[in-house]
Amino acid sequence: MSTCGTSSRVLVVTGAASGLGREIAVQALEQHWTVALLDRDARAVTATAHELGALAVAADVTSPTELGTAFAIVAERLGALDGLVNSAGLTRPGPSSTLPETDWRTVVDVDLNGTFYACQAAFPYFAPDAAIVNLASIAAARGLPERSAYSAAKAGVVGLTRSLATEWAPRGLRVNAVGPSWVDTPLIRRMVQEGAIDLKEMTDRVPLGRLGTPRDVAEAVLFLLDRTRAGYITGQTLFVDGGFTFAG
């Protein structure tokens, strides 16, 4: 794997200790980015960074103070930021009529507020022509039962993406989102094992007939980060969903 300092292109990935964030970091390193992994789990992100050859920074995306410190560290160590991927997120499914307030607040705070706080904290350190990619979801476009907090938060991410894209364009920043559908991650596998998700029912609803892979999502993210291939794309949400979103 690549190591810190091998490229002038600097990328920060939040929620990078595992799952989609980790895969995005892997693909970015293969494309010769210098990558900083940011995650609230200090032990896990340090281990992942050591394995991949990246910089580890521990911070909770729900804390603007911690994020401010984290991005200052990254800029001091690696220089100006060419990219930011907001991958930190979680969900707490449950009937909306009885969803605990703590679950609602936790999901919105991590998925939506955390995305905004990270963009805000990174803003002073962006290089010209930098790019942000936020992780949205098909839940932003489809009504998913018992996913009210997640759907609301991810719809908010889409709206935030559009707003920042127009506001920050004069700075040269592009801001886009990627909206995955069901992706084969440890979280999905655990939910299948727990009976929270019916795998066959899920894949039957996807026109391409399979779960997405983390690499499917990572490749879309890296495309949107690329100033050569996607330099005139901003404010968009690219659904990586096997056709699910618009299948009816």
Task: Please identify which of the residues 117, 125, 150, 232 carries the catalytic annotation.
Answer: 150
Helix (H) or strand (E) holding 47: helix 42-52
The beta-strand segments (E) located in 126-173 are: 126-135
Q: Which long-range CB contacts under 8 A does 162-169 form with residues at least 24 apart?
A: 162/235, 164/119, 164/132, 165/234, 165/235, 166/235, 168/123, 169/234
Encode 178-208: b = buried (16+ Cβ within 10 Å), e = exposed: bbbbbbbbebbeebbeeeebeeeebeeebee
Active site residue 232: no
Active-site residues, by number, are 150
